[in-house]
Amino acid sequence: MLIVVGTYLSKHKKKSGKTEGKIVQAKEDGVHEPVHISPFVDPGKCIGSGACITACPEKEVIGLSGGKGKLVHASRCIGHGACAIACPVGAITLVFGSETRGVDIPDVSPDFQTNVPGIYISGELGGMGLIKNSITQGKEAVGYIIESLKEFDGEDGGDVLDVLIVGAGPAGIGASLSAQHAKLKYRTIDQDEWGGTVYNYPKKKIVMTASVDLPGYGEVKLNETTKEALLELWEKVLKKTGVKIHTMEKLSAVEKIEAKKIFKITTSKGEYMTKKLLLAIGRRGTPRKLGAPGEDKTKVAYRLLDAEQHQSEDVMIVGGGDSAVEAAIAIGDVEGNRVVLSYRKDAFGRIKSMNKVRLEEAEAAGRVNVILGSNVKEITDKEIILKTADGEETIPNDYIYIFAGGELPNAFLQSIGISIEKKFGTR
Ligand SMILES: Cc1cc2nc3c(=O)[nH]c(=O)nc-3n(C[C@H](O)[C@H](O)[C@H](O)COP(=O)(O)OP(=O)(O)OC[C@H]3O[C@@H](n4cnc5c(N)ncnc54)[C@H](O)[C@@H]3O)c2cc1C
Ligand code: SF4
């Protein structure tokens, strides 16, 4: 009996030690705190069954320590909720932010309307993440919009849209399908390609989702698929239903014309009048630009989808965060590529310790050439002109990736009058 108990306790201690070690590392790497949503494990209820850990499709969001579930890499949580469902004693609730890290969530009423009448929010921006949930919310929001359009009954709208849908991720696609099915006068725009966050997943990522009914197409039965298969399916759906998405068009301003109860919308491509505005813009924001001449060339990108697409090419990465460093290492790992990592500061102050080590190795092996204290002066078809402490340097170049952070949607939302609440570990 004593041997059994002793072995159990020693295993427990080892497991706790491992988890605590991972928590220390995760804190050091800045990935311990949640980005958005994450599980709160009530220590008073938790019996340490570990069912949440087995159920979670992501890696090491929760670990066991002292016989209780504890957050390890909260930033990896995407809000499946599988942990909460699996927990046999109901010890888990999903919350926004943590006690120390607030997360901004706009105020949205049950009909998806914000405090600004006529402006609606659906999908992850409103706090409800995941593909199926976002599609469903987009559809439901259009249902409420159709109801509210009754206030315009009898008025000739002319060129005025019924609804302008901004964002073509899962929420915007769901909304557009509903708008098309209901024969609304609508326009869907996206500042990027359609597909939203899904389009930006790493190549061949396994996607967990659930069956969903798509207006004008029917039920699609999905549980586990890949990024590529999901985008292919959506392409088929858009083609069959005739939904048109205007890509590379960014929303830049919203003005309410009170007298007519409509909105004047300015985008990067034009101006529209619309009765209702549906924001399905997610939470990733807009990549920040450098403002350098030549930045509008097609060889300039703000995210890396596939390092292998570069073979024996001259590639420059600009930035000093983990995304920039990881992209430089990944492209440098493909034999034959010549990679330059340009960063405006004199040291990489805020990257994960593991990335620091990997970058030093890549630099020593000649796979990445780091140029600190440098700024892009100009981008030409075949070269980049860098400004460095020693003067100007002209570098051969086929592609350039810029990781200069992003402008989050909150400031824009507040500028158009939408109120936002900061949540510290609450729903
Ligand atoms: C790494 C990762 C893995 C994930 N894995 C899964 C998974 O397996 N299963 C799952 O269900 N969920 C998963 N998710 C979550 C899921 O992808 C998101 O919850 C979902 O995409 C949110 O949909 P959305 O339409 O609200 O926003 P998004 O998908 O973010 O789409 C928003 C769109 O709005 C556009 N936009 C933003 N600002 C503007 C503007 N000013 N003008 C015009 N357009 C604009 C953007 O370009 C974007 O296309 C994952 C998320 C991540 C980050
Ligand atoms: S909500 Fe999902 S991703 Fe987050 S811990 Fe639970 S199962 Fe994992």
Q: Measuring from atom 6 of ligand 2, which residue has the nearest CA? A: 83
Q: What is the pLDDT of residue 10?
A: 65
Which ligand 2 atom is at minimum distance from the Cα of 94?
A: 1
pTM: 0.88
Do residues 389 and 321 touch, judged by C-beta distance below 8 A?
no
Q: What is the pLDDT of residue 7?
A: 62
Both tokens of 70, joined, read 């504890």
Q: Which ligand is nearest to the CA of 133?
A: 1
The alpha-helical segments, DSSP class H, found in 219-349 are 227-241, 322-332
Q: What is the pLDDT of residue 156?
A: 63
Closest CA to 76 of 61, 97, 92, 55: 61
Q: What is the pLDDT of residue 31?
A: 85
Domains within the chain, CATH numbers bracketed:
2-101 (3.30.70.20), 104-285+409-423 (3.50.50.60), 300-405 (3.50.50.60)
Q: In residues, how long is the chain? A: 427
Q: What is the pLDDT of residue 181?
A: 97
Distance CA(127)–CA(320), nearest Å, equals 29
In the chain, which residues have pLDDT < 70?
A: 1-12, 154, 156
Distance CA(403)–CA(345), nearest Å, equals 14
CA of 53 to the centre of ligand 2 (A): 9
Both tokens of 397, joined, read 């170049």
Cβ contacts of 242 within 8 Å, gap of 6 or more: 180
On the 0-12 / 13-18 / 19+ scale of CB atoms within 10 A, 387 is middle
The alpha-helical segments, DSSP class H, found in 117-226 are 131-148, 170-181
Q: Measuring from atom 5 of ligand 1, which residue has the nearest CA? A: 207
CA of 67 to the centre of ligand 2 (A): 19
Which residues are paired to 258 by β-bridges? none
Instruction: Report pLDDT digits (tens) over 193-207.
Output: 999 999 988 788 888
Distance CA(157)–CA(144), nearest Å, equals 19
